[in-house]
Structure 1
Amino acid sequence: MKPLVGVDWGTSSLRVARVDASGHAIEQREFPRGILTVPAGGFPQVFGEACGDWMKEPGAVALICGMAGSRQGWQEAPYAPCPAGHAEIASQLAWIDRGRIAIVPGLSFDAGGAPDVMRGEETAVLGVMKLLGVSDARIVMPGTHCKWVRVRAGRIESFATYMTGEFYAMLRQHSILARTLPAQDGELYEDAFLRGVDYAMHAGNLLHAAFTARTLSLFERLPQSAAPSYLSGLLIGEELRSQDLHAGDTLVLAGADKLTQRYGLALSHLRAPFRVLGQEATWLGLHAIAQSVKELA
């Protein structure tokens, strides 16, 4: 296979890697150059600054996943419908420079009459499957918009998006709760976090439960410094409340350490089986897609 440059281009950050023949990163770089920082027409320049030297290697090809394929990105890559595996995804690459630079399509799933979408997570899911050596799994990808993904027979069958991280930011900064919260989140208070998880699990209604982040502080039953941890627990607990956590399969958490730690803490508290993987899965996923593209052989 041709030398592969992997690019994970999100809303707020840009990660690039030289990927070896087994799908692992030889060298990685990260920049605060998410798509929202790139001016119109500026994507080729930012791409060149990030990994242009790697692209000088004879035959080098770049596969780009994430929000670079959105309407606000470099070039729109239409969503591929579920179910989809690496072959279906590879067949719908959006080429910027045929045989040299391509964008991975996102995925869509019709959930009860309303579409759900992802960009970038589909590539990490493929990498998780390759890393674990399994063809069936339930994968949780914490983030601003957390994804719960069901994979069967090596293909992404369905998924659901939860705006947990974004709701936290909205409540944290723009609601009445902000009046009683400290200026900075600070360290994670595990007791307060798990208290929030427990309250969400039995309250059964986030619109009611969220207000307790204010009232507990008003009545001095929760230290102000621990209130962000409590609110975080409430929101993650609400997300977990809607899941079947004991369906007989082990959940796989894949993502940034800070968030996977919180989800893992909550799942352990609820006695739900899980395992944790890091962010290296994206490069494995891009490698799996590249293997299905004849032009990259």
Structure 2
Amino acid sequence: MVSAVPSLIGLDWGSTSLRAWLIGPEGIVLDERKADKGASALSGHGAFLAAFDDVAGAWRTAHADLPVLACGMVGSAHGWLDVPYLRCPAGAAALAAGLRGPDGGPHIVPGVLFDDTSLPPDVMRGEETQVAGALHLHETLRTSSCIVLPGTHSKWAQVCDERIVRFATHMTGELYAVLREHSVLGRLMPEDAPVDPDAFVQGVDAARDHGELGLPHQMFAARSLGVTGKLPHEMLADYLSGLLIGHELRAGLQWRAMAGLGSRPLALVGAPQLCARYQVALHRFGRPADLVLDNTAPAGLFALAREAGLLPLEKR
């Protein structure tokens, strides 16, 4: 544990898991705890309060004056408290002003809504805090940038003047899981197959070079290549992963260019292993990310607590 004065208790409370951090100056993590107590598995004020006390109670006892901020699905209609979405453009000031909290619970960061009426609306909860953290840590991203957050539902966020001005969600991770576990494609894919980087690159290149054929058509290759023996069964899962991520990048990079951000910084934020896979794919498209960052939620929670005037050492 790092020796420093704690400034904040931060929570990233998603649908399936809860991560808690004791956060020090400028968002550095002093201690971390995890629990399998996601918002979707809890019901009622008492259940959330008990989970909150279980993961952060000792810190709250030892540091009674610290503020507590939470982001993620804990603020959804199925969470502890339904905290209204903020409309784009949304930056740290608006997010801090939108904090809400249940009795005895943390301040909860609102999610963000993009709805310009020309397209179906898009929403995020939790990623807005990671974007705030990336901007807090890296000044080069603040004026104009594109921040990509890979995951079950990948987010591509366009930033202008330190605010999220628009974003797009790609259900890449969830689509992969559904196809792998509940479709004809998965029947040829061994569960214990080792990771195959070459198969992944083949999938990315197929999306890059022949994406005009359409994803529904190209997905079937994850079966036909195996049936015809042109690709070993052990390679099919990574081929499918590369194909799906390749189509996401093909669309996302075009969307980024259409917004005039083609020459502006591109950042990846998320789990290192997944970001590394996206970086490989971006290299195949000739546009590697300028920055690759681990989870920036702790830094984002710190930045929002500071913006809201909640940090005890900064009130003086």
Q: In the alignment, what sits opposite 1:147?
A: 155
Q: In the alignment, what sits opposite 2:8?
A: 4
Deviation of the 1:2 alpha carbon: 8.6
SS at match of 2:205: helix
Q: In the alignment, what sits opposite 2:52?
A: 47
Deviations 1:268-293 (A, max 9, x none): 122213121001x1111111111121
Deviation of the 1:173 alpha carbon: 1.2
Matches within 5 A, 1:50-199: 50-56=55-61, 57-97=63-103, 101-111=106-116, 112-134=118-140, 135=142, 136-184=144-192, 186-199=193-206
Structure 1 residues 101 and 115 mapped into 2: Cα distance closer, same or farther (>3 Å)?
A: same
- Identify, as 1 or 2, the structure richer in strand: 1
Letter in 2 for 1:277: L
Q: Answer yes or no: is the 8 Å Cα contact 2:6–2:23 preserved in 1.
A: no
1:284 to 291, 296, 299: 299
Aligned-partner Cα distance in 2 for 1:294–1:266 = 41
Letter in 2 for 1:165: G
Deviation of the 1:266 alpha carbon: 0.5
Letter in 2 for 1:167: L
Q: In the alignment, what sits opposite 1:250?
A: 265
Deviation of the 1:116 alpha carbon: 0.3
Aligned-partner Cα distance in 2 for 1:173–1:60 = 44
Deviations 1:76-103 (A, max 9, x none): 11101110111100111112248x7211
The runs of 5 or more residues in structure 2 that have no matched partner are none
Structure 1 residues 295 and 180 mapped into 2: Cα distance closer, same or farther (>3 Å)?
A: closer
Q: Answer yes or no: is the 8 Å Cα contact 1:68–1:74 preserved in 2.
A: yes
Deviations 1:234-262 (A, max 9, x none): 10011111133671123201001221111
Letter in 2 for 1:261: A
Aligned-partner Cα distance in 1 for 2:153–2:60 = 32
The runs of 5 or more residues in structure 1 that have no matched partner are none
Tell me how large the CA RMSD over aligned residues is: 1.8
SS at match of 1:243: helix
Aligned-partner Cα distance in 1 for 2:211–2:127 = 31
Q: Answer yes or no: is the 8 Å Cα contact 1:147–1:162 preserved in 2.
A: yes
Q: In the alignment, what sits opposite 1:272?
A: 287
Structure 1 residues 26 and 2 mapped into 2: Cα distance closer, same or farther (>3 Å)?
A: closer
Q: In the alignment, what sits opposite 2:234?
A: 225
1:21 to 25, 34, 42: 25
Percent of residue pairs identical: 41
Q: TM-score if structure 2 supplies the norm length?
A: 0.89
Q: Answer yes or no: is the 8 Å Cα contact 2:205–2:284 preserved in 1.
A: no
Deviation of the 1:11 alpha carbon: 1.3
- Identify, as 1 or 2, the structure richer in helix: 2
Letter in 1 for 2:219: A
Deviation of the 1:108 alpha carbon: 0.3
Deviation of the 1:188 alpha carbon: 2.1
Aligned-partner Cα distance in 2 for 1:221–1:276 = 34
- List 4+ stretches of structure 1 deviating above 2 A: 36-41, 243-246, 294-297
Deviation of the 1:131 alpha carbon: 1.0
Q: In the alignment, what sits opposite 2:215?
A: 206
